Structure 1
Amino acid sequence: MATDTAAAAAPDAIAGGGALRGRDFRLLWTAESISKTGSAVTTFALPLVALQTLGANTLMMGVLNAMIWLPWLLVGLQAGVWADRRSRRPLMIGCEAASAVLIVSVPVLAAFDVLTMWYLLVIAFASGCSTVLFTASYNAYVPFLVGKDELLAANSRLLGSEQAANVAGPGIGGLLTQVLSAVLGLVVDAASFAVSAFCLWAIRAREPSERTGEQAGKQADHPDGPRATVRSDIWTAVRFVVRDPYLRVITANSACTNLLMGGIQALVVVFLVRAEGLSPWAVGATTIVISVGGLLGAFAAPRVSARLGSARTLLTAPFTDCFLLLFPLAAPGPLLVVALAGTLIWATGVVVRNVTGGAFRQAYCPPEMSARVAMTMRFMFFGVWPIGSLLGGVLGTVFEVQTALFILSGANILTNIWLFTGPLKRSRDLPTDHAEPPAASAAKTAT
């Protein structure tokens, strides 16, 4: 009974402000930062394990990257339903524990010299599934801990620490690669997931008890109605995203962008290490620069959004995306500096828009379907990532890798036409009030 009282009091304390200074948000922030640091090590180390330890070719590098993102296609929508029907904190803890076990198995098998490329692909897919479910729970859990007025500041802090972690991660991975091996970087990642799980376990705030009671399986839009199926819950969220003029445009633009980003990411290691003859430190430097740009963007987002307006901030995409064209110029000497400078500006712009768009979605979507809407959007624009990875592998095989990167970077600029096809071009700011869920809107029409 005491636990229920404390849980019920948590949202009231949050509503009064100051959630960002509270113990629970700091624990969530710490868990995310530690986990992302380890994940950054994996992002650096896993392709190098495939390239250096297992001798993967260009096509297999594309397949490996595709396997990391394939879970968004296969379980992305279902994960949103699961996160809306259950308490999010236990789900996040379970995902972190599972990720720790999966990742640590790679260096264990490598130590016994039985690691294979096929096993690496399986681990990439399984850890991707864990990431998808964690993301669904995490994105829906933040608005529970933080009031609507603090969402932009909270997302700025969380994404800022993620980018800071990405700065440290490649440095650790590069050091381990040079001194020992890329495989050992995965040990650091596994440990980070375990520490993150402990921080999440220490959070005191509990979501309303009815989320785990008899109504857990009922459709959130109709809490007094019959038990809804997973399919009906999914389609409710899909219809909401497709019909909403703001979410539809943002999702379409992000989907096209991520299709191309998947291809670019699949070619980065091959381009820098194999085509240009740079050391693994160049891969780490590229990731660090992207992360520094992300860090700058995360903390600049509130000010940029306030000065330009949240809608106009999203419309800056064509300008900052042009700087990505400098990355394929990377080569030993000054051209590497030019390429990294362009990448820095591009990454800053991307994260400014991500923070602004994420805060908008969390404030705009109906609370009872926030996880489903978030995962529907992520399904659409992360689900195309494996297709993009395969596209990058094919383009890198048919053309020179540098030419493939120019093609993908140029096409990325053109995708921003989506942003000018909806209400964004006529608005200074995005709406701040919750949109009506589909069922409520239909009922009003019928009346």
Structure 2
Amino acid sequence: MTPPSLFRHRNFMLLFGADTISQVGTQISMLALPLVAVLALGASEFETGLLVAAETVAFLLVGLPAGVWVDRMRRRRILITADLVRAALLASVPITWWLGALTLPHLYGVALGMGLATVFFDIAYQSYLPSLVGRDQLVDGNAKLEIVRSAAGVAGPGAGGGLIQVLTAPVAVLADAVSFLGSALFLWRIDAAEQTPDPAERRGLLKEIGEGLRFVATHRILRMIAASTATANFTGGMLAAVEMIFLTRVLGLSPGAIGLLFSAAALGGLTGAAIVGTVVRRAGTARIIWLSILATGPFMLLVPLSGPGWGTSLFAIGMFMHGVGVVLYNVSQVSFRQSVTPEHMLGRMNATMRFVVWGTLPLGGLAGGVLGELFGARTTLWISVALGLLAVVPLLLSPLRTMRDLPAPQEVGA
């Protein structure tokens, strides 16, 4: 029997609405914070790399214990608290700018605090969805939420670039602060029953962290997905450290033009989200995980080939195809992770995966900042995209290479 559409599912639609509001604002801040550093504070390549690292180092600092805490607490409450914290942090940027007190250390502090809140939000969010919609609708739910993220990515950077150009980058950050308040309001209205975990079942922080690590490390598919994603994110951190420098100082683009380029990348994600159901059915649930990277990864070689004028189209094409591949990959592998993990282990599984795959982002950001200082932005982009092509290797060395479809949950083991 076909389950009812999630668009008729009240609580999912509230989550959908919260995600929509938050994602649009986040896209604005993704442009605004680095541009505040580069344009308002004159940050160098290395200083911009530190900002990228500060945004993501929280996954290394608290990623594993956060998974235990998410499994011990009501997840909706964690989501709301994280949204409120992020709203307050972002609001401090325009306030200090208006007072003439904005500094790079303040931006680093905001980025670090945002990262800490995001760790808890992301782990709780991916752990909350299965109980909200049921595991038979995970692919559909993840695909719809990816459409939100990608659609916001299409509209957000273009709107954000124009907003930054008119109002300046620090003021544009305020839009994201407001968006997190709106997201918290939608989450507060969700009325799905959520059982509070029994405190008597707690076995100690380190022991529970170890259970999450072992679950991923001994799983024949999850560990290869972790290795592949970690490689891709490390090289993505390298790229993020220098791309604003490249676009503003090498290509000479305005914030509005940069916003349009990022919209092209997000349009690729929207395309991927729209076709993921059809592609998965035709290619297979296992095959699409590695095929999505293998087919779209080489297009990223167009990014460092970009130049002024018409040459910016190469950047747009490369990022568009990258967006398609990332969404196809993420919807497939995240849905699989959620489906094979027991309810009581979801927080720790997601935390372990996030610790590994997002923990490489700050390392990549630092590496990109150092390489940018030594060799320049364009050379660093070449190194980043070349290394990024290796992300598919762990998947091709895994059982996925010979499988068309992923096995049923009860068939998957160590």
Shorter chain as denominator, the TM-score bin is: over 0.9
Q: Distance in 1 between matches of 2:48 and 2:337?
A: 33
> Would the alpha carbon gap of residues 434 and 137 (structure 1) be closer, same or farther in structure 2, given more than 3 Å must change?
farther
Verify: 1:332 aligned to 2:308, yes or no: yes
Say if 2:154 is the partner of 1:167: yes
The number of residues matched between the two structures is 412
1:318 aligns with 2:291: no
Match of 1:403 among 374, 379, 387: 379
Partner of 1:352: 328
SS at match of 2:178: helix
- Equivalent AA in structure 2 for residue 116 of structure 1: T
Instruction: In structure 2, list runs of 5 or more residues that go unmatched.
Output: none
Q: Residue 282 and residue 268 in structure 1: after superposition, are their counterparts in 2 closer, same or farther (change >3 A)? A: farther
CA distance in 1, matches of 2:357, 2:289: 16
Q: Does 1:290 align with 2:289?
A: no
Q: Whole-Å Cα distance in 1 between the matches of residues 164 and 322 of structure 2?
A: 27
The whole-number CA distance in structure 2 between the counterparts of 1:106 and 1:389 is 22
- The aligned amino acid for 2:42 is G
Q: 1:64 aligns with which of 46, 51, 54?
A: 51
Runs ≥4 in structure 1, deviation > 3 angstroms?
15-20, 434-438
Deviation of residue 318 (structure 1)? 2.1
Determine helix, strand or coil for the equivalent of 1:252: helix
CA distance in 2, matches of 1:320, 1:19: 30
- TM-score normalised to the size of structure 2? 0.96
User: 2:353 matched to 1:377?
Assistant: yes
TM-score (norm 1): 0.89
Q: Is the 8 A contact 1:54 1:117 kept in 2?
A: yes
Q: Aligned runs of 1:20-419 on 2, under 5 Å?
A: 20-208=7-195, 210-211=196-197, 215-216=198-199, 218=201, 227-316=202-291, 317-419=293-395
Could you tell me how far 1:169 is from its partner in structure 2? 1.7
SS of 2:304 mapped into structure 1: helix
Partner of 2:221, secondary structure, is helix
Which residue identity does 1:279 align to in structure 2?
A: S
Structure 1 residues 143 and 20, CA gap change in structure 2 (3 angstroms): farther
Deviation of 1:339 after TM superposition, in Å, equals: 2.3
- Matched to 2:199, the amino acid is A
C-alpha distance in structure 2 between counterparts of 1:48 and 1:155, whole Å: 31
- Assess, with a 3 A threshold, how the Cα gap between structure 1 residues 350 and 16 changes in structure 2: closer, same or farther: closer
**Structure ID, larger Rg:** 1
> What letter corresponds to residue 87 of structure 1 in structure 2?
R
Partner of 2:397: 421
Aligned partners of 1:435, 1:125: CA distance in 2, in Å?
Answer: 40
> How many angstroms does 1:152 deviate by?
0.4
- Distance in 1, Cα, partners of 2:89 & 2:384: 32
CA displacement 1:3-53 (0-9 Å, x = unmatched)? xxxxxxxxxxxx975555211110000001101111111101000001111
Structure 1: segments with no counterpart, 5+ residues: 1-14, 219-226, 439-447
- The equivalences for 1:424-443 within 5 A come to 424-433=400-409
Distance in 2, Cα, partners of 1:120 & 1:88: 29
Aligned equivalents of 1:306, 1:41: Cα separation in 2:
34
C-alpha offsets along residues 84-143 of structure 1, whole Å, 9 cap, x if unaligned?
Answer: 111100111111011111110110010000011101100100011001101111111100
Q: 1:250 to 1:389 in 2, by over 3 A?
A: same
Distance 2:268 2:200 in 1: 42
The 1-side partners of 2:147 and 2:218 are apart by 32
CA shift digits 1:58-89 (9 cap, x unpaired): 10000000000000000111111111111100
- The alignment partner of 1:310 has SS state of coil
Worse-superposed segment, 26-35 or 411-420: 411-420
Q: Residues 262 and 316 of structure 2 are in contact (CA less than 8 Å); yes or no, is this contact kept in structure 1?
A: no
Query: Does 341-350 or 382-391 show the bigger shift?
Result: 341-350
C-alpha distance in 1, partners of 2:62/2:118? 11
Give the distance between the partners of 1:230 and 1:434, measured in 2 at CA.
Answer: 28
**What amino acid is aligned across from residue 126 of structure 2 in structure 1?**
N
- SS, match of residue 57 in structure 2: helix
Structure 2 counterpart of 1:222: none
Q: 1:283: how far off?
A: 2.2
Is 1:253–1:415's contact at 8 Å kept on the other side of the alignment?
yes
CA distance in 1 between partners of 2:89 and 2:35 (Å)? 18
Q: Does the CA-based 8 Å contact 2:231-2:390 persist in structure 1? A: no
Q: Tell me, in whole angstroms, the C-alpha distance in 1 between the residues paired with 2:161 and 2:398.
A: 44
Q: Residues of 1 paired with 2:268 and 2:215: CA distance?
A: 33
Does the aligned pair in 2 maintain the 1:31–1:197 contact within 8 Å? yes
**Alpha-carbon distance in structure 2 between the residues aligned to 1:435 and 1:370:** 18
SS of equivalent to 1:293: helix
In 2, Cα distance between equivalents of 1:18 and 1:336: 40
